[in-house]
Amino acid sequence: MSPTRISRWIVLTDLDGTLLDHHNYQAEAAKESLSLLAQHNIPCIFNTSKTFAEVVQLRQQLGNSSPFVCENGSALFIAKNNAETAGFSTDQADYNSEIIATPYADLLRFLFQARQQGFSFRSFNDMPASEVAAMTGLDEQQAWLAKQRCASEPLLWQGDDHSLQQFRQLIRQHKLQLIQGGRFYHLMGDADKASAIGFFRNYYAHQYQLAPSQIGVIALGDGENDRNMLEQSDQPVVIPAACGQPLTLTHSQTITATSPGPAGWNQALLAWLEKHY
């Protein structure tokens, strides 16, 4: 898509390790670019492995009332009536939602059967909030929010590489997928973070009375589970991982930020905004 055809832009961003610091989960270093996005009326859509409960709390802290995507593309949420105050509600009833992947109860049923077959792992459903907190660095209240899931399940693999390959085969047979995130594998149905791109192109095209091709998508992410979202965007921004090498994309317009986490997020978007606005 040629940039000259784009009339309005939207941002889709990963959170952990991207907008949020990998170690302390803070976004302070990105405040300047977040403020400028709001001034230019550019929606900043969180597209994350986090749960609804986690995201609405974070949106309140950051003053973000845009739609959002949870659990690696499994569920989308838009405040009803597009009301500013509704955008900060913690009640799912105040949002129009779409669960586009396998429901949580079906995932737990699959994991129970897999464990009966001898596969070794430990998932969030197996862990009390205190253990999730210890594994993630979240406090116990945040860990409890992370356990409130609707369509995906993080797990720690405890078997060897050979049994992991057998587990992946079983997953494919059940038309599920296993995505590797920053800390955990994520079991989920047939969706990913890229699922949100077409949806929000159409949503904002309707909002702005434009053709979907006139809605440009900037995507920011740092992990393998962000790859499809980045590749399918108009302007991918790779945030260097806190550890290891940054993602390498095939997209010709790829920008790689100079720093990990929110500092890199801020730098890349400030440079982009200066060029376009």
Q: Which residues are catalytic?
A: 14
CA separation for the pair 213, 81 (Å, rounded): 25
Residue pair 187/152 in contact (Cβ under 8 Å)? The answer is yes
Is the dihedral angle over the CA atoms 206, 212, 216, 218 positive or is it negative?
Answer: positive
CA separation for the pair 216, 8 (Å, rounded): 6
Q: Helical H runs in 122-260?
A: 129-136, 140-146, 161-173, 195-208, 227-232
- Token pair 């959002």 is found at 68
Which residue from 43, 10, 47, 16 is spatially nearest to 196, judged by alpha carbons? 47
Roughly how many angstroms between the first and final C-alpha of the chain, as a whole number?
19
CA separation for the pair 46, 177 (Å, rounded): 22
- Residues forming beta bridges with residue 9, ordered by sequence position: 216
Neighbours of 1 (CB within 10 A): 13
Residue pair 250/268 in contact (Cβ under 8 Å)? The answer is no
Residue pair 204/240 in contact (Cβ under 8 Å)? The answer is no
Cα 152 to Cα 130, 142, 170, 230, 254, distances in angstroms: 20, 17, 17, 21, 29
Residue pair 174/96 in contact (Cβ under 8 Å)? The answer is no
